[in-house]
Amino acid sequence: MNYPTPHINAKPSDFAKTVLMPGDPKRAKFVAENFLEDAVLINDVRGVQGYTGFYKGKKVSVMASGMGMASMGIYSYELFNFFQVENIIRIGSAGAMKENIKVRDIVLAMGASSDSNFHKQYKLNGTIAPLCSYSLLEKAVSKAKEVNLTYHVGNILSTDIFYNENPTTEEWANMGVLAVEMESAALYLNAQKANKNALTICTISDHLINGESLKAEDRQNSFKEMMLLALETAIEL
């Protein structure tokens, strides 16, 4: 028996097959309290809150991943491999690296390039491309079109470094990378290894080129659109 783990004090039946994963535990609580019916707290180890409830009659869970690939790597691995979760949809923020992407826009990460060594554990004779599940991406794009959201689909950068002494924004942008965040490559690789499904949906909260950023109130309102898009996608699974 692989549960409870050192990080999740629950059993497989506590989780829905689909889990939404914001980085911030408070954001997980916000989703549970504002969008889910009959939400129950199922995990609070280390303050990483997880809830399960119902959205439009469909069982859905939401649990924080923490910041960075190390933390996402732990939680997504355990959910996929120990708790029988089939789908994880990351809902987070990202910094835009392209002029045509605006603050408040949504980015759907088809791939997640990275400066991390996370992939080295697989001992591959080459470099693997961390990719989302096409079925999740297809459903999310369809839902985004239905509600007329401004969205972009493409490659993002998952970085290990928030305060970078040698920023490489221009170089990544020149290779077609849309935005930067810190978790998706680990999520996608864990999903690929476990033969499960993953997708990252991010709201652009900052712009690395023009310096624009969302204020706290604007950030909350914009994030609601992303949360609803993820939930609408989740109930299609």
Give the residue numbers marked as catalytic.
206
Phi, psi dihedral angles at 130 (to 5 degrees): -70, 115
Contact between 158 and 23 under an 8 Å Cβ cutoff? The reply is no
Contacts of 31 (CB under 8 A, 6+ apart): 20, 22, 51, 62, 91, 227, 231
Contact between 76 and 186 under an 8 Å Cβ cutoff? The reply is yes
Report H helices in 47-149: 68-81, 134-146
Phi, psi dihedral angles at 136 (to 5 degrees): -70, -45
Distance (Å, whole) CA 29 – CA 24? 9
Contacts of 160 (CB under 8 A, 6+ apart): 68, 69, 114, 115, 116, 182
Q: At what angle do helices 216-234 and 134-146 cross, to 10 degrees?
A: 120
